[in-house]
Amino acid sequence: MEARALKRHIGTSPRKMRLVVDLIRNKRVDEAVNILMFTNKNSAKVVEMTVRSAYSNLVNKLDSGRLSQSDVVIKEAFVNEGPSMKRILPAPQGRAFRIQKRSAHLTVVVEQIEEKLN
């Protein structure tokens, strides 16, 4: 069984956020949360909250309601580009330079680890 969590309109550029998301892809949830707590990037806090939200969504989806973080793996984690805010910065000789303040959309999909019976 799998569950997903979305966080949209994050005020960080997608390029910076992908550096953090690449650290946790295909890891267990407890391991990923541990990595994110000690990552020295601003976007790590947002990614950690989204991973915890996806885990909670999976626990709420199950009938038993009991699931350890070590039994859940991050199946997918990706960052897409959100809308850009356009701003203008004054430049020499009456010109104006354009600034784009980028935003990002984060998607995290977690999946329960199925134990094989042999």
Domains held by the chain: number:
1
Q: Residue 100 maps to which CATH number?
A: 3.90.470.10
Q: How do residues 27-81 score in pLDDT, each as one tens digit?
A: 999 999 999 999 999 999 999 999 999 999 999 998 887 889 999 999 999 999 9
Q: What is the mean pLDDT of the chain?
A: 94
Q: Is position 117 within any domain?
A: no
Burial of 53 (0-12, 13-18, 19+ CB in 10 A): middle
Task: Sheet containing 2-10: give its strands across.
Answer: 2-10, 104-112, 72-81
Integer Cα distance of 30 and 19 in angstroms: 19
Res. 118: pLDDT tops 60: no
Q: Is position 118 within any domain?
A: no
Q: Is position 25 within any domain?
A: yes
Integer Cα distance of 45 and 24 in angstroms: 13
Residue 28, strand partner residues? 73
Q: Is position 27 within any domain?
A: yes
Q: What is the pTM of this model?
A: 0.90
Q: Is position 9 within any domain?
A: yes
Helix axis angle, 29-37 to 43-61, nearest 10°: 160
Give the domain range for residue 54. 2-112
The SS3 of residue 115 is: coil
